[in-house]
Amino acid sequence: MSEKVAIVGGGIGGLCAALALIRHGIDVEVYEQAPELKELGAGVQISSNGTRVLYALGLGPAIERVGVVVAGKEIRLWSTGQTWKLFDLGAVSVERFGFPYMMFHRGDLHMTLLDAIRRERPGAIQLDRKCVGVTQHTDHAEIQSENGATTRAALVIGADGVQSRVRLAVFGADRPEFTGIVAWRGLIPRDKVPAGIKLDTGTNWVGPGGHVVHYPVRGGALLNFVGLLERDDWRVESWTVQGTKDEFANDFRNWNPLIHECIRCVDVPYKWALFARPPMPAWTQGRVTLLGDACHSMLPMLAQGAVMALEDGYVLARCVQKYGVAPQALQRYEAVRRERANRAVSGSADNARRFHNPDLAHAAGAEAYVTREWQEDKVNARYEWLFTYDATAVPI
């Protein structure tokens, strides 16, 4: 009987799970649909609960080379640019939560995980292997690939993102709902970043019906620039669809001139329609489970989607080590993870309402609104349960 764990999807979640399984002495292979592994030109924030996992995987020196530790986060008003502190990070994150809050170019984080896997198990990642089905048998599960290949494994992990084929095969079609929000993103080289935009800080501009996030990545060489806006006429959920700078600028007409200076300087503007999916009542069936966006995709307003995928991967590996390469391990993994991940899903939706609140329309009302909503104790209640979690030690 096979003792192998097969992971479908080589994104941040799938690769983290693979490396964690390797570190826990488990036989693992990853089946990725893309013919070549690369992540997109976009940023990803990884809070202390996620960097804790990366350090536990031995990636500390590697992530310190490519990530950026920002001094803190700020809130700015869409119209006047008035600024409020959200929280201090830098040394404060390490002091309070044990690990840094870091900003990455997604490609850098992905490559760090990939390099570590290839060093330890050069053949562990199979490319050009789009999964089109999964079936289960008494003592194994089988993955069918589009190219006709089949793979047997003791356990199958669907880490294949929002449009997961593993989820479709095991749980049937899902019910994505368009949130009415479109996310724009682009990168700006450091020397083109307008004066007035801080390069050592994460910034959230908040406004009625939209918000803008920017922060440095790739050791500070680039600024990741993301704008989310409520509009009803674009419904493609994709990382790779390009838009135009004129359309991006038009979505943010009337916003602060600094936002427009940034939009003019982004390299390529990409747009992605944000969909929400109701929480799944279960992630696991027999020898198959799901991980990351495949089972708990969330709006990006809490910056926790990838972080939750990292936590999932580490907890999954611990469960397989403890309970064996058997269905029981998957049941334990889901029992440990599902409630927390779903809480992050609803926290993200709450933040969407907070960031886009109509009270932000006028500077006078906005002052009172921001002061009330971003009071220190409220911020702590929203983030502390996330940042303190220890995937390496949580009881399994």
Ligand X SMILES: Cc1cc2nc3c(=O)[nH]c(=O)nc-3n(C[C@H](O)[C@H](O)[C@H](O)COP(=O)(O)OP(=O)(O)OC[C@H]3O[C@@H](n4cnc5c(N)ncnc54)[C@H](O)[C@@H]3O)c2cc1C
Q: Is 184 in the site for ligand X (CB under 6 A)?
A: no
Q: Is 317 in the site for ligand X (CB under 6 A)?
A: no
Closest approach, Cβ 294 to ligand X, in A, equals: 6
Q: Which stretch binds ligand X (CB under 6 A): 7-15, 170-178, 319-327, 332-340?
A: 7-15
Q: Is 304 in the site for ligand X (CB under 6 A)?
A: yes
Nearer to ligand X, 289 or 366 (CB): 289
Among 292, 316, 329, 351, which residue interacts with ligand X (rule: CB under 6 A)? 292
Q: Is 8 in the site for ligand X (CB under 6 A)?
A: yes
Q: Which stretch binds ligand X (CB under 6 A): 147-155, 250-258, 290-298, 337-345?
A: 290-298
| CA dist., res. 333 & res. 320, Å (int) | 8
> What is the footprint of ligand X within residues 110-139 (CB under 6 A)?
130-131
Closest approach, Cβ 249 to ligand X, in A, equals: 18
Among 305, 360, 369, 387, which residue interacts with ligand X (rule: CB under 6 A)? 305
| CA dist., res. 261 & res. 74, Å (int) | 19
Among 41, 100, 107, 161, which residue interacts with ligand X (rule: CB under 6 A)? 161
3-state SS string for the chain: CCCCEEEECCCHHHHHHHHHHHHCCCCEEEECCCCCCCCCCCEEEECHHHHHHHHHCCCHHHHHHHCEECCEEEEEECCCCCEEEEEECCHHHHHHHCCCCEEEEHHHHHHHHHHHHHHHCCCCEECCCCEEEEEECCCCEEEEECCCCEEEECEEEECCCCCCHHHHHHHCCCCCEEEEEEEEEEEEEHHHCCCCCCCCEEEEEEECCEEEEEEEEHHHCEEEEEEEEECCCCCCCCCCCECCHHHHHHHCCCCCHHHHHHHHHCCCCEEEEEEECCCCCCCCECCEEECCHHHHCCCHHHCCHHHHHHHHHHHHHHHHHHHCCCHHHHHHHHHHHHHHHHHHHHHHHHHHHHHCCHHHHCHHHHHHHHHHHCCHHHHHHHHHHHHCCCCCCCCC
Residue with tokens 């990741």: 224
Among 185, 198, 271, 287, which residue interacts with ligand X (rule: CB under 6 A)? 185
Nearer to ligand X, 73 or 366 (CB): 73
Q: Is 51 in the site for ligand X (CB under 6 A)?
A: no
Nearer to ligand X, 132 or 396 (CB): 132
| CA dist., res. 120 & res. 13, Å (int) | 18
Q: Is 187 in the site for ligand X (CB under 6 A)?
A: no
> What is the footprint of ligand X within residues 227-266 (CB under 6 A)?
none
Instruction: Cite the active site residues.
Output: 215
Closest approach, Cβ 23 to ligand X, in A, equals: 18
Among 29, 108, 160, 174, which residue interacts with ligand X (rule: CB under 6 A)? 160
Residues 111/104, Cβ–Cβ less than 8 Å: no
Q: Is 345 in the site for ligand X (CB under 6 A)?
A: no
| CA dist., res. 283 & res. 280, Å (int) | 7
Q: Is 273 in the site for ligand X (CB under 6 A)?
A: no
Nearer to ligand X, 270 or 369 (CB): 270
Q: How many residues bind ligand X (CB under 6 A)?
A: 33
Q: Is 269 in the site for ligand X (CB under 6 A)?
A: no
Nearer to ligand X, 76 or 369 (CB): 76
Binding mask 9-48 for ligand X (x = CB under 6 A): xxxxxx----------------xxxx---------xx---
Q: Is 300 in the site for ligand X (CB under 6 A)?
A: yes
Q: Read off the amino acid at residue 51.
A: T
List contacts with ligand X (CB under 6 A).
Answer: 8-14, 31-34, 44-45, 130-131, 159-161, 165, 183, 185, 226, 272, 292-294, 300, 303-307, 309
